[in-house]
Amino acid sequence: MSRKLLNDELNRLSISEYKKASKVPVIVILDNIRSLSNIGSVFRTADAFSIEAIFLCGITAQPPHREIHKTALSATESVDWQYYKKTSDAVNFLRNNNYIILSIEQVSNSIPLNNFTPDKNAKYALIFGNEVKGVDDEIVKLSDDSIEIPQWGTKHSLNISVSAGIVLWDIVLKLK
């Protein structure tokens, strides 16, 4: 018979141990995210998958903030983050540091996530866009490629925090 594990049985790292641990070479860029809950959720997911950092851009709120903390559950303390007023500045910084820039967006030549094979020797920046408008067109053009999560229902998109969870889990799994 199974039983739910207690928190101390999960062998999770402390925040200081997490900060010192090696990270997956992925940076998440949040391009003008409105919802503080979505921002917090992405922090928590980034912590779960040991992502290198999050870049908050444009109108995306920054910690500390009570509403971000409610869903992040202290992940804003473990996951490194930076703020950029312009998403293009974050993209250019990462490009200059040899990151492959990928917009998570539905575009004419996007790669279905299940067909995307990351290079295990590369570093990636994954851009998630605004809840209504998606990744800004200018930013899509600056990207090296776009990845799309295949969907079969009537809605044309997923919530940004759900998209981040799906994409990060898939890419981290493929990189490991």
- Summarize pLDDT for 105-157 with one digit per residue, the tens: 999 999 999 999 999 999 999 999 999 999 999 999 999 999 999 999 999 99
Integer Cα distance of 94 and 124 in angstroms: 9
Confidence class of residue 13 from pLDDT cuts 50, 70 and 90? very high
Q: What integer best gives the mean pLDDT of the chain?
A: 97
Task: Dump strand ranges (E) for the chain.
Answer: 24-31, 51-57, 80-84, 99-104, 111-112, 123-129, 145-148
Neighbours of 7 (CB within 10 A): 7
> What region does 11 belong to: left with phi over 0, alpha with psi -120 to 50, or beta?
left
Integer Cα distance of 112 and 127 in angstroms: 15
Integer Cα distance of 117 and 155 in angstroms: 26
Give the angle subtended at the CA of 86 by the CAs of 100 and 109, to the nearest 5°.
Answer: 40
Q: Which whole number is the average pLDDT over 10-31?
A: 96
Q: What is the pLDDT of residue 102?
A: 98
Fold designation for 21-175: Alpha/beta knot (3.40.1280)
